[in-house]
Each structure stands twice: as C-alpha cells, then as structure tokens.
C-alpha cells in the first residue's frame, strides 16, 4: 500500500484550491452572461455512446478510454469528453421539442489513458459549452467570443485563435477523393502514421509534422479550396462577424480536428508559453452528430477548454490577489481554565457569521499569537484572568497592532466595527 495518487492524477490541496475556485467562478459567470445554463451528466456512460459519438477510429476511442464491466456485465466507460453525453441527454430528454437553441455548459473531470506530460493528465478537467438547434454562423462567433472573454477576464493576453472550415459531408467527400488521388503516387514517401491516416482519415496527413511527409504533400490543395457554396458562405459570415467584433484570428488550412463529427467551423485557441500541449481550448460545429446518435436532425456547435492548461497559463500571474484573510478573528485563551468558556464564545461568533477559530493543541499564549498570525487572522480576541474578572474582552487588530477592551456583551458588534 503506497500513498500515491495513480499515474496522471493529482490532488488539489487546500493551499491551492483558491486558484480553482477563481477560474471556476469566472467561467460560470461568463457562461451565464452569454445565456448558457449548466448541465451535469454522469461521469461514466455506456461505452457504445463514445464509440458512436466520438468515432471509433479516433485515438480517444481506440486507445485512450477507461472502459470497465460493471457487476451486471455492462460495458461502461469513464467519459473522455462531454459532448457525447450532452448529445445523449439532448436526445433522451427530447430537448428538441422545446425552445431552441439549447445553450448548455459543463465543468468537470474527464478521463483519458494517455502518457502524462506538461498540460496532459489522465484525469483532467474541462469546461465546455454546447449549443443545439441553430446553424447560424453568428452562434459560432458567440461561442468563440465566450471562450476568448474567459481568457481575457482571467488576465490572459497572449493567445492565438486558429480557424478553419472542414466543410460538410458532401464537399468533404469530394475533397477526400481528390486528396487520395493526389497522395496515392507519393504513398511510399509517407511515414508509417500517415500511411494509416491515408487509409482512415486522409485529411489528417496534411498536418503531419514529419518533414518528408510535408515535402511529399507540398502544393496539394486544402479543404478550403473545395468548400461548397453553402459551406463557403457559412465560413465567410463567421469571419465577417468576428471581424465586426474585433476578434483576431488566423485562417489555418492545416487545422483538421481529430474527432469525426465535426462539420464546417473548426477552431483552436493556443497559448504557446505553456509547452507542447498548448491548445487551451478547441471546438467546432457538429451538425451531423445528434442524428448520428439516433436523434432528430439538429445542428450543434461547442467547444471544450482544459482547466489544467488554463492554470498553467495563469501560473505567472500574481497569486496574492486571489487570497483573502482566512479568519476574521482568532480566540486566544491565555489561561487553560477558560477553555470551556472559549468554546461557547466561538460558537456565538460563528453563529454571527464571523470566521473564527481557536487553538486545540495546548499552545502557550505566545504560540497562539504566532498561530493566529499564520492562519491569517485579522484580529485576536484575548481571553484570560483579567478579562474574565472584568467581564470584558481584549481585541487586537493584527495589522495595526491596535488593542482595545470591549464589554463582553458588545463583542460581536465591536469585532465588526474594529476588524471587518
């Protein structure tokens, strides 16, 4: 039995949790300003949901899922992402029969069996949004804008937005056939990975980083050159909307997302400083997904954002601004015979909503002062022989060192006036 969290997982200890609270709060507030409501789906789902919803040729499904059998021999899988679950919930609860678009957000842990490295964990956390029931490119722009606004609110400036369109099944099929024809003669120049991509998902050969592959495919057309009239219009409307709203982006012909269900808009936001895993968020349109999962023919769009990566990017920022005094007052008991009395006072303070604590380890008076200081107390209440006899308390302000005596009956008011 070793005390060690499993590989690729980690604890967020109490001293660090304020960072998480801060980004979670910012994220939720922003999503709600944009009109998105939280949805919580199960941490595990039927394995089949991910196989169909994510695509069984993807790396995620083919080699990264935590899949297990339950006691009734059902095959279940810890969610590797949350879009498939949202689609399932959308269908299961017949949301399409209500007001559309349905605008949802989620926040929670995801699981992928990957080799850990900077910004990549086996249990990691994503924030994401999904909007079902509109194909309006303004909605694509809204989603991108939401993602960027969160980054801005958190104080992150140095991000890059990459944008592309992967077309619809019709124009992509035309392009795919052309591309296969182009690549065919150069097959022997491709790396082993690209040879596999050539068979399964030839578009992905385009963003291979192996130099020999890049040489082999140099000059080949991109999907952009094959977009049909509708897809091209969708893409230019999106770009116009972004331009109108001063959102900078880079058109990236090589941005081809790994998940099978994407149509039209694809985007990624990178923060290069955080390492090789620099994609802090990414997403796109998935107009065929709801139908593919057995629902009505309803379009959708969404993105996901990695919270650990967000934290990495935020690490350079000043921590202090998020920290607060942990305690309003510390109750220092200078004489052991008043221990019982101190517990009663503590109870009153806490009932009055004052953040208060005391020593439980028999510290001396001096040590209690040190302890109060380390706990970040604004003030200390001194309780000893003198105070008990005169029915008062001594109140010390830890910042100003000022000390006053207050009648026992007025303790709560005095604390609020003197310290808070």
Residues contributing to the annotated binding site:
81-83, 112, 126, 130, 257, 261-262
* Closer by beta carbon to RNA, 71 or else 115: 115
- How many other β-carbons are positioned within 10 Å of the β-carbon of residue 166? 23
* Closer by beta carbon to RNA, 9 or else 136: 9
- Distance, in Å, from the CA atom of 249 to the CA atom of 164, rounded to the nearest integer, reads 10
- Distance, in Å, from the CA atom of 14 to the CA atom of 6, rounded to the nearest integer, reads 19
* Closer by beta carbon to RNA, 230 or else 335: 335
CB of 363 to RNA, least distance (A): 4
Q: Can you list the alpha helix ranges (DSSP code H) found in 154-267?
A: 169-183, 192-200, 211-217, 229-244
CB of 59 to RNA, least distance (A): 4
Q: Check if the beta carbon of residue 419 is closer than 8 Å to that of residue 378.
A: yes
CB of 201 to RNA, least distance (A): 9
For β-strands 392-397 and 123-132, DSSP reports them as unpaired
* Closer by beta carbon to RNA, 97 or else 336: 336
CB of 193 to RNA, least distance (A): 6
Q: How many residues does the chain have?
A: 420
CB of 318 to RNA, least distance (A): 19
Question: Residues in the site for RNA, rule: CB under 7 A?
Answer: 4-5, 7-8, 58-60, 81, 112, 114-121, 124, 126, 193, 197, 204, 208-210, 257-259, 268, 275-282, 304-306, 308-309, 334, 361, 363-367, 369-374, 380, 382-387, 394, 396, 398-399, 401, 403
Residue 166 structure tokens: 């992967």
- Distance, in Å, from the CA atom of 212 to the CA atom of 262, rounded to the nearest integer, reads 28
Using only C-alpha atoms, the chain has a radius of gyration, in whole angstroms, of: 29
Quote the distance between the C-alpha of residue 255 and its chain's center.
22
> Which residue positions form the known binding site for L-histidine?
81-83, 112, 126, 130, 257, 261-262
* Closer by beta carbon to RNA, 5 or else 99: 5
**DSSP class of 129:** E
């Amino acid at each position: 039995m070793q005390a060690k969290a499993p590989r690729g997982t980690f604890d967020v200890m109490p001293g660090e949790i304020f960072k998480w609270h801060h980004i979670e709060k910012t994220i939720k507030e922003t999503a709600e300003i944009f009109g998105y409501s939280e949805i919580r789906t199960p941490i595990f789902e039927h394995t089949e949901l991910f196989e169909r919803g994510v695509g069984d040729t993807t790396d995620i499904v083919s080699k990264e899922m935590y899949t297990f059998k339950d006691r009734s021999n059902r095959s279940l899988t810890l969610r590797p992402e949350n879009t498939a679950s949202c689609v399932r919930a959308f269908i299961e609860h017949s949301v399409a029969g209500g007001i559309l678009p349905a605008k949802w957000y989620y926040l929670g842990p995801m699981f992928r069996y990957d080799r850990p490295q900077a910004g990549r964990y086996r249990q990691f956390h994503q924030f994401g949004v999904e909007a079902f029931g509109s194909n309006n490119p303004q909605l694509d722009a809204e989603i991108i804008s939401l993602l960027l606004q969160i980054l801005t609110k958190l104080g992150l400036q140095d991000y890059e937005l990459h944008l592309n369109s992967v077309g619809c099944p019709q124009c992509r099929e035309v392009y795919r056939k052309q591309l296969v024809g182009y690549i065919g003669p150069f097959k022997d120049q491709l790396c082993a990975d690209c040879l596999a991509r050539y068979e399964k998902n030839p578009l992905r050969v385009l963003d291979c980083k192996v130099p020999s592959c890049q040489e082999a495919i140099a000059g080949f057309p991109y999907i952009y050159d094959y977009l049909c009239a509708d897809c091209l219009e969708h893409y230019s409307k999106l770009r116009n909307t972004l331009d109108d709203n001063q959102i900078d982006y880079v058109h990236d012909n090589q941005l081809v997302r790994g998940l099978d269900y994407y149509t039209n808009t694809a985007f990624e936001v990178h923060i290069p400083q955080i390492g090789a895993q620099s994609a802090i968020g990414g997403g796109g349109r998935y107009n065929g997904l709801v139908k593919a999962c057995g629902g009505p023919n309803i379009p959708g769009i969404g993105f996901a954002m990695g919270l650990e990566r967000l934290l990495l990017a935020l690490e350079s920022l000043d921590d202090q601004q998020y920290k607060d005094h942990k305690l309003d007052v510390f109750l220092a008991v200078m004489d052991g015979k008043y221990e019982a009395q101190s517990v009663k006072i503590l109870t009153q303070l806490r009932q009055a909503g004052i953040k208060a604590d005391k020593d439980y380890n028999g510290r001396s008076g001096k040590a209690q002062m040190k302890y109060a200081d380390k706990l970040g107390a604004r003030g200390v209440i001194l309780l000893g022989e003198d105070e008990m006899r005169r029915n008062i308390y001594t109140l010390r302000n830890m910042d100003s060192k000022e000390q006053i005596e207050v009648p026992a009956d007025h303790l709560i008011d005095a604390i609020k006036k003197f310290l808070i």
